[in-house]
Structure 1
């Protein structure tokens, strides 16, 4: 098994395809910084279409990075740029449509709706709740009080949300909505299990559906990963035991683990003692450039630069399955 195959988070993702698509997204995003698409009848329309390309590519690149095994602490920092891209799209769309309520994504389209729920879910899973008001500013003018899942997810952090009993897409979201109203946690677990089974067929109308088929053939495809991000967010917010469904193909268990283990108080470089070993946990800022060894794991040390976030370690879990997981890193030597 190659290093990439052991690091990737879904089996559909091949290394050549990953490298090609990641480079393609990065090049496209950079290329649209100082030019507009020729498509569109007016300059405002061309600006809106261009911002749409950048927002889509930024988010799809972000998902691809997660699927490819990127360290989640790095994705936590990267998420800012994704939200900013959608903010720029929102501004451009509102100018183009001459409507200050215009959202960047249409809830009536299931692919757009899923992206919006994922953005909210990422705010919780990455501990970036401070970004939620920015997401609300994009979507509330059009959708406040119109969708149960949208309102209920936001209500875990923001006051004054609306109690509403309707949502845009019954399939596949009904079990997930129901999970937020159960009295027994086992019922919530059963609902999320049902939701994970319904998620992929329920996304048949999304433009990226079945994109992995072309990717597996060596084509260019649209596959960046299939992830029920919002399911992990709900499991985290409800403090559920996800052991019965955490190995489901569509469940981003590494994000759920990151959310549970993240310590905001340790987001800055820790104070190191002059005596005893220097240790720092995954997600903290590296205090010294050098080789760091993951305690309790029989894996080689890794080179980490001062100021970088300490990574997760890719090692066997208790079941013997290899996966990325948080670690306590001990300074081994200077590079």
Structure 2
């Protein structure tokens, strides 16, 4: 059900059709196989197909206005699906460290990668981020792209400082991270959002909103712009772009988890509530370790829990 849609292109019929077709696909492929030359290939094609469906479900539910918290179980399922896909690809191709996404060659696959990074970051699921990165790093991508590393370095240990990136589209976003003038950083973020959709003219989902209610549109979201704004404390108050998921940033900044197993953010000067690693958007360093009861530094702004390791 569409409650308060976040992009105007999504109709109730398109939303309903997505889930009707989703259920039909599940039923059909319970009894049928994908066209393939071998069992191993069929399993890899099957894994890719359902991984993409799960990713599309996250996008269309967010676009439809679903509560942000409701995306978290879907994100867990999505990371599970990438792990399953990687296992099947490794068997089929005979390459143990094969990547489920070829991020250096294909812009849309790089985008999918940083979108998943960003969902993990904005929904405060560092555990899922670590699992997903473990599928991509071993293929030779660790330490090879600035944005890739800058999305990870505040949350994961032993990341890399690198000054190059695969795709020119991301230049304004990288520059926004390192811009010292807050106004100019926000301007660069706006420039990135403006350039985002036109840059994906060759992506399979581009212009899918023109296909009508039977099409494949699920939403157009520059999730990585939101993750950068959150991680690096960029003021996004003046950003005007259909593709900028403003309420995901607000959620990431203001979340007060009802689940007692999760850890709420801490203002400066407050005692650390849990021993482990924390990060602050206004800090230039990576994550920092604090003991329970230790006073959070005044220089950091709000501190966010990362994890115990």
Instruction: Please report how far the alpha carbon of residue 30 of structure 1 lies from its aligned counterpart in structure 2 after TM superposition.
Output: 5.8
Cα distance change, pair 43–200 in 1 and its aligned pair in 2 (3 A): same
How far apart, CA to CA, are the structure 2 residues paired with 1:38 and 1:181?
A: 46
2:126 matches 1:129: yes
Asked whether the 8 Å contact 2:227–2:249 carries over to 1, the reply is: yes
C-alpha spacing 1:36/1:144, structure 2 compared with 1 (3 Å): farther
The equivalent position to 2:161 in structure 1, one of 160, 163, 166, is 163
Match of 1:288 in 2: none
- How many Å apart are 1:167 and its aligned residue? 1.5
Q: Is the 8 A contact 1:147 1:166 kept in 2?
A: yes
> What's 2:145 paired with?
147
Indicate the SS of the match to 1:180: helix
- Shift, 1:26, TM fit: 4.1
1:79-228 counterparts in 2 under 5 A?
A: 79-107=75-103, 108-142=105-139, 143-170=141-168, 172-215=169-212, 218=213, 220-228=214-222
Per the normalisation by structure 2, the TM-score is: 0.80
Q: Please give the alpha-carbon distance, in whole angstroms, between the structure 1 residues aligned to 2:229 and 2:34.
A: 44
Structure 1 counterpart of 2:237, from 239, 243, 258: 243
Paired positions, count: 259
**Alpha-carbon distance, 1:38 to partner:** 3.3
In the aligned structure 2, how far is the partner of 1:35 from the partner of 1:178? Answer: 50
- Unmatched 5+ stretches in structure 2: 262-309
Q: Tell me the equivalent position of 1:262.
A: 255
CA–CA distance in structure 1, aligned partners of residues 46 and 54 of structure 2: 12
Change (3 A) 1:39 1:111: same
Counterparts in 2 of 1:155 and 1:193: CA distance versus 1, 3 Å: same
Maintained 8 Å contact 1:146/1:164: yes
Partners of 2:72 and 2:90 in 1: CA distance = 28
Match of 2:245 in 1: 252
Partner of 2:73: 77
1:86-144 Cα distance to aligned partner (Å, 9 max, x none): 11111111111111121111112111111100000011111111111101111001111
Matches within 5 A, 1:274-293: none
Q: Is 2:144–2:165's contact at 8 Å kept on the other side of the alignment? A: yes
Task: Summarize the Cα distance change of 1:213–1:190 in structure 2 as closer, same or farther, 3 Å threshold.
Answer: same
Describe the SS at the equivalent of 2:178.
coil
TM (norm. structure 1) is 0.74
Structure 1 position 181, deviation (Å): 1.3
Superposition deviation, residue 78 in structure 1? 2.0
Distance 2:24 2:192 in 1: 36
* Shift in Å, 1:27: 3.9
1:66 maps to which residue?
Answer: 62
Cα separation, partners in 2 of 1:30 and 1:126, compared to 1, 3 Å:
farther
Structure with greater Cα Rg = 1
> Kindly tell me: are residues 44 and 201 of structure 1, through their superposed partners in 2, closer, same or farther at Cα, counting changes over 3 Å?
same
1:36 CA drift (Å): 6.2
Contact 1:36 1:50 (C-alpha < 8 Å) held by counterparts:
no
Deviations 1:32-68 (A, max 9, x none): 4x45633121111110000000000110111111101
Partners of 1:196 and 1:17 in 2: CA distance: 25
Residues of 1 paired with 2:20 and 2:124: CA distance? Answer: 28
**SS of aligned partner of 1:7:** coil
Q: CA RMSD in A?
A: 1.8
Q: Once the 2 structures are TM-superposed, how far is the Cα of residue 169 of structure 1 from its aligned partner?
A: 1.0
Q: Is the 8 A contact 2:34 2:46 kept in 1?
A: no
Q: Is the 8 A contact 2:122 2:251 kept in 1?
A: yes
